[in-house]
Amino acid sequence: MSIGQPDTCRMKLLSIRRFAGLFCFVLILLMCHQIGAAAPLSDGLKEQSFVTSDRVRLTYVTGGSGDIDLIFIPGWLMPAEIFQPQLEYFSKKYRVHSLNPRSQGTSDIYRGPRLAELRARDIKEFIAHLKSKRFVLLGWSLGVMESLDYLTRYGQEGMTALVLIDNSIGEGEPPKARRSARSKMTETQFTKYIKEFARAIFKTTPDADLIETVEKSGLRLAKNPSDAFAVLSKPYEREYYRDAVYATTRPILYAITPRYIEQSQLFVDKHPQGQTKIYGDAGHALFVDAAGEFNRDLEVFLLTSDEAEKISED
C-alpha cells in the first residue's frame, strides 16, 4: 500500500458526497418547479399565506402601501399572478393583494362540501387577515360571482368601491341552458382542455411565464376533473347576483368585453353609482390584454370613488 492511498480514498469519498449533495439539490429544485412554479414576482411583491377557520392554507400575492387595500379575486382555477400588471402598477399608491382561492395557485387543494359558501367566507377571512379597514374588491370571471356572494352574506362594511370584470351580473335575458359533459372528462382530456383554455382567455400573447403559471394552476385538479368543475357549481339563481349588485350602495365599475353589452346598459341605467367600460379588442383576461388602458381606467375610477366617499363623509 502506498503512502498516498488514504488521501486518494478520502478525496474519492468527498467527491461522492459532493455529487450526492448536488444531486439532492437539483432534485429538490425540480420537485419545487413541478409542484408550483410561478411567474416571477416584481420587486416589492411577495407571496404570503394565512389559514382559514377550517384549516385550509390559502396563499396570496401582496405588496405596496397606502390607506386603501385593493383586493383581487381571480377566476376559475386561475392563480393570483394573473393580476400582476395591476399589482405592479397600483402598489405605488395602494396596498395590493391577490388571492389564490382554494385549489388554485399555491393554495391547499380542497375537495369537501359547501364549496360556494366556503369560498365566499374565505374572502371575508382574507379581509380580516389583512386587517383592512377600507378596501376595494375586484373580482374577475368566477370572482365576480364570489365577490357578489361575499357581499350578500357579509355586507359592504369597509368596502369603498367594487370592480366586476367580464362576467354576467344576472341582468337581461338569461342565456340558453346547455348540457355539458365536461365533468366526465378523463385526465388527458382535461389537460388538453386547460392548455387550450389558458391561451383562449387572452387575445394577445402574454409572457411564457404567465402562461405556464396559469396552466400549472389549472392542472392541479387534473386527476379529478369533476373536482375542478365543482368549483363552478353555484347553488343560486342568476337573480341572486343581480340583487347583490343593486343592494350595493358603493360605486361599481363593470369592465367587460362586448358579450356583456346588454347587461352593462341595463346596469348603468339602474345603478346610481354604476360605471361601465367595454374593451372591444381584448380577450376575457382584458386586464392583461389591455393592461395599460385598464389600469388608467381603474385609476380614474378609484380617484373619483375616493372623492365621492370624502364628499359623502362631509
Tell me if 250 sits within 8 A of 161, measured CB to CB: yes
Residue 261: CATH number of its domain: 3.40.50.1820
Q: How far apart are CA 304 and CA 175, in angstroms?
A: 34
Residue 97: which of 125, 64, 67, 120 has the closest Cα? 64
Residue 142 inside a domain? The answer is yes
Q: How far apart are CA 44 and CA 42, in angstroms?
A: 6
Provide the residue range defining the domain that includes 87: 42-171+235-313
Residue 276 inside a domain? The answer is yes
pLDDT tens by residue, the chain, 314 residues: 344 444 544 544 445 455 445 444 444 344 444 444 457 887 799 999 999 999 999 999 999 999 999 999 999 999 999 999 999 999 999 999 999 999 999 999 999 999 999 999 999 999 999 999 999 999 999 999 999 999 999 999 999 999 999 999 999 988 776 666 676 899 999 999 999 999 999 999 999 999 999 999 999 999 999 999 999 999 999 999 999 999 999 999 999 999 999 999 999 999 999 999 999 999 999 999 999 999 999 999 999 997 666 655 54
What's this model's pTM, rounded to 2 decimal places?
Answer: 0.86
Residue 225 inside a domain? The answer is no
- Residue 81, amino acid: E
Q: How many domains does the chain have?
A: 1
Q: How far apart are CA 73 and CA 98, in angstroms?
A: 6
Residue 32 inside a domain? The answer is no
**Which pLDDT belongs to residue 299?**
98
Residue 178 inside a domain? The answer is no
What secondary structure does DSSP assign to 160-202, as a single string? EEEEEESS--S-SSPPPP----GGG--HHHHHHHHHHHHHHT-
Residue 265 inside a domain? The answer is yes
Q: How far apart are CA 299 and CA 72, in angstroms?
A: 15
Q: How far apart are CA 167 and CA 165, in angstroms?
A: 6
What secondary structure does DSSP assign to 75-105, as a single string? -TT--GGGGHHHHHHHTTTSEEEEE--TTST
Residue 124 inside a domain? The answer is yes
Q: How far apart are CA 12 and CA 17, in angstroms?
A: 9
Residue 79 inside a domain? The answer is yes
